[in-house]
């Protein structure tokens, strides 16, 4: 394939690849990358927040390099591959005359810079979106069983990258509904499903925890036009940068002259409209819409080489955008050049400060799946995130990391403490204190289940049944536990909490038996807050803050 690429193309590509490698090596990890590095320490077919592709990339990188490059190398490879795949999707016979325009167009896209060296779930999502479209284009020209199988494998890789990759598949299908009657297309679907079976099994074994979290349990906010809908349009600009008027102009002016162009248009408009509608319900994160960069790059290039005005201005503004982005990239390494303190600044410093005080003592961070893996990455020491009712569940809630700190002397770190045995400033200048706990013990995997109803009527004063399941390998003395009634608003934000008195259904129960369920009776506390939406029961062990033990039950 490379012998079909012009020398000038390879020169641009090589320069970008080397730049990304250098940036990956010199730039400290961002918190999400540290979290995905943590994923890779225990490879599995799924994780709390995402499918496993990002963990696989980090793991492969770690076999080749240490440090930051040991997290990011495969991301640099895939991001380079995006340029090649995009180039092969362009049919214009004289495209070799516009190599510089091609690179200016793609390299000026803001998040294409970021995902050029950062390794996040969106990194493989972008690559496999491009590869899926390339294979689909070949499939349209001459379908075969080989292309069907390849299409299926790529679709599975897409879904192993990020769940909303399903939008790519759906909108391409909607652009060509005749695929429903195409036997080759069905072969691709079957292959994709077979490849995805291990993740389906993981979801089943883990009670579909990522699906439940993303669809039902994720906290939200009351609708705010500026933050939600207006913020969404700002994101549509941010992913492209200063060249956005000409790229969206290309989208508007392009007509569906063939099935492949129609697929690009459906994918672009489909994602834009889908998240526009979603913006009336929740705040849309910028990276959620990054997949439109792939079809927009193709549509914009095909448009600009036929439109002199667009070609001239997009090239000029694209170079300006690249200069700004390169300046910001230097600022990611050299903090004084960046307009604000960012996640890539100061992580080694705060980790070093804390480690110098506690040594090899394990550190338990209160409510921080961000600080815990960052500390482990740069210190090489054990850490854990203990999540309570004021936070959210994450990978630390479902894996075996709790076992590594049980019954050990730990340092318990929180930003809500006023004093402690140790202290440090994080990279955003927040002061954290830590106190030593000689024999740490937590039971955050205890599950609390309220009765059998999906709703609770606040007007009724009947006793409620509380089932407490103990998944641990040892019995847990009930005297170590306290129970709390937690009221949330309609956006799943904690509004009120009240201790509850529980009575075992069977008398003389002293312990929660291992791998068994104990039934209690309790009275629903009367809340003082109005317009509540949900209720759940949290469990506190050994005086720690109440955990995220129960699911949200709707109130009426």
pLDDT digits (tens, 9 = 90+) for 133-174: 999 999 999 999 999 999 999 999 999 999 999 999 999 999
293 burial (CB, 10 Å; 0-12 / 13-18 / 19+) is buried
Q: Which of 145, 144, 139, 124 is nearest to 175 (CA)?
A: 139
> Average pLDDT for residues 478-494, to the nearest whole number?
93
Three-state secondary structure call for residue 545? coil
- Whole-number pLDDT of residue 2: 42
Is 139 in contact with 183 (CB distance < 8 Å)? no
Of 237, 236, 299, residue with least CA distance to 263: 299
Give me the mean pLDDT over the 421-441 stretch.
96
Residue 124: the pLDDT is 97
Exposure of 168 by Cβ count < 10 A (0-12 exposed, 13-18 middle, 19+ buried)? buried
Q: Give the integer Cα–Cα distance in Å for 240 and 231.
A: 15
pLDDT, tens digit, for every residue of 503-542? 999 888 999 999 999 999 999 888 999 889 999 999 999 9
Average pLDDT over residues 255-262: 96
Q: For residue 454, what pLDDT is reported?
A: 80
> What confidence category does residue 387 fall into, taking pLDDT thresholds of 50, 70 and 90?
very high
Residues facing 385 on adjacent strands: 365
Q: CA-CA distance, 554 to 539, in Å (whole number)?
A: 19
pLDDT at site 507: 84
The confidence score (pLDDT) of residue 291 equals 95
Mean pLDDT for 446-471 is 88
| Long-range contacts (CB closer than 8 Å, 24 or more residues apart) made by 342-348 | 342/30, 343/28, 343/30, 343/31, 343/427, 344/27, 344/28, 344/29, 344/30, 345/28, 345/427, 346/28, 346/426, 346/427, 347/28, 347/29, 347/374, 347/378, 347/427, 348/28, 348/378
- pTM given for the model: 0.93
**Under 8 Å CB-to-CB from 22, ≥6 apart: which residues?**
none
pLDDT at 1: 42
Q: What percent of the chain has pLDDT over 70?
A: 99
Which pLDDT does position 371 carry in this prediction? Answer: 97
Among the ranges given (233-242, 448-457, 471-480), the one the predictor scored with the smallest mean pLDDT: 448-457
Q: Which of 208, 161, 170, 164 is nearest to 189 (CA)?
A: 170
Backbone angles phi, psi at 314, to 5 degrees: -65, -35
Distances (CA, A) of 220 to 261, 281, 552: 36, 8, 14
The token pair that represents 532 in the structure block: 């509540």
Mean pLDDT for the stretch of residues 304-332: 93
Residue 270 has pLDDT above 60, yes or no: yes
Strands 383-386 and 363-366: parallel
Angle between helical axes of 99-107 and 69-88 (0-180°, round to 10): 130
pLDDT of residue 62: 97
At 179-196, the pLDDT tens digits run: 999 999 999 999 999 999
- Average pLDDT over the chain, rounded to an integer: 94
Check if the beta carbon of residue 410 is closer than 8 Å to that of residue 442.
no
CA distance 552 to 424: 35
pLDDT in tens, 27-38: 999 999 999 999
pLDDT of residue 235: 95
Structural domains in the chain, sorted by start:
2-335 (no CATH), 347-437 (no CATH), 447-555 (2.60.40.10)
Alpha helices in 225-346 (DSSP H): 231-238, 244-253, 259-278, 293-304, 308-333
Give dist(CA 136, CA 129) in Å, integer: 10
pLDDT digits (tens, 9 = 90+) for 341-368: 899 999 999 999 999 999 999 999 999 9
């Amino acid at each position: 394939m490379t012998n079909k690429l012009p020398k000038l193309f390879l020169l641009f590509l090589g320069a970008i690849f080397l730049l990304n490698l250098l940036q990956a090596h010199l730039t400290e990890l961002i918190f999400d990358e540290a979290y995905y590095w943590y994923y890779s320490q225990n490879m599995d077919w799924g994780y709390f927040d995402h499918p496993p592709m990002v963990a696989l990339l980090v793991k492969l990188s770690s076999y080749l390099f240490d440090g930051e490059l040991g997290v990011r190398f495969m991301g640099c490879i895939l991001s380079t591959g995006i340029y090649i795949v995009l180039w092969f999707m362009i049919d214009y016979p004289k495209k070799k005359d516009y190599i510089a325009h091609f690179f200016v167009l793609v390299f000026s896209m803001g998040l294409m810079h970021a995902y050029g060296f950062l390794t996040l779930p969106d990194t493989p999502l972008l690559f496999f979106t491009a590869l899926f479209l390339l294979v689909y284009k070949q499939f349209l020209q001459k379908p075969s069983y080989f292309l069907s199988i390849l299409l299926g494998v790529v679709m599975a890789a897409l879904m192993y990258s990020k769940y909303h990759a399903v939008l790519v598949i759906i909108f391409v299908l909607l652009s060509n509904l005749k695929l429903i009657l195409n036997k080759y297309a069905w072969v691709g679907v079957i292959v994709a499903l077979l490849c995805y079976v291990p993740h389906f099994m993981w979801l089943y074994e883990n009670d579909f925890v990522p699906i439940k979290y993303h669809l039902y349990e994720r906290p939200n906010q009351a609708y705010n036009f500026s933050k939600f809908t207006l913020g969404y349009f700002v994101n549509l600009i941010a992913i492209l940068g200063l060249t956005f008027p000409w790229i969206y102009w290309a989208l508007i002016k392009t007509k569906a002259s063939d099935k492949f162009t129609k697929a690009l248009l459906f994918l672009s408009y489909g994602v834009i409209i889908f998240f526009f509608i979603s913006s009336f319900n929740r705040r849309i994160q910028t990276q959620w819409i990054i997949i439109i960069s792939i079809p927009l790059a193709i549509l914009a290039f095909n448009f600009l080489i036929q439109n002199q005005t667009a070609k001239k201005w997009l090239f000029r503004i694209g170079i300006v955008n690249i200069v700004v982005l390169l300046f910001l990239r230097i600022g990611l390494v050299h903090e004084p050049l960046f307009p604000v303190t960012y996640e890539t600044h100061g992580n080694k410093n705060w980790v070093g400060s804390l480690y110098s005080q506690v040594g090899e003592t394990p550190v338990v961070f209160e409510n921080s799946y961000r600080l815990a893996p960052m500390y482990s990455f740069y210190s090489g020491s054990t850490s854990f995130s203990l999540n309570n009712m004021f936070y959210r569940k994450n990978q630390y809630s479902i894996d075996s990391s709790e076992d590594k700190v049980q019954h050990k002397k730990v340092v318990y770190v929180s930003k809500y403490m006023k004093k402690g045995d140790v202290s440090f400033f994080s990279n955003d200048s927040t002061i954290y204190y830590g106190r030593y706990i000689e024999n740490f013990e937590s039971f955050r995997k205890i599950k609390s289940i309220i009765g059998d109803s999906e709703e609770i009527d606040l007007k009724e004063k009947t006793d409620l049944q509380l089932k407490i399941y103990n998944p641990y390998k040892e019995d847990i003395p009930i005297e170590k536990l306290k129970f709390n009634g937690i009221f949330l608003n309609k956006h799943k934000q904690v509004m009120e909490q009240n201790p509850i008195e529980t009575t075992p259904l069977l008398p003389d129960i002293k312990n929660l038996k291992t791998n068994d369920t104990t039934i209690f009776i309790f009275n629903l506390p009367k809340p003082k807050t109005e317009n509540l939406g949900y209720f759940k029961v949290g469990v506190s062990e050994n005086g720690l803050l109440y955990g995220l033990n129960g699911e949200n039950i709707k109130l009426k």
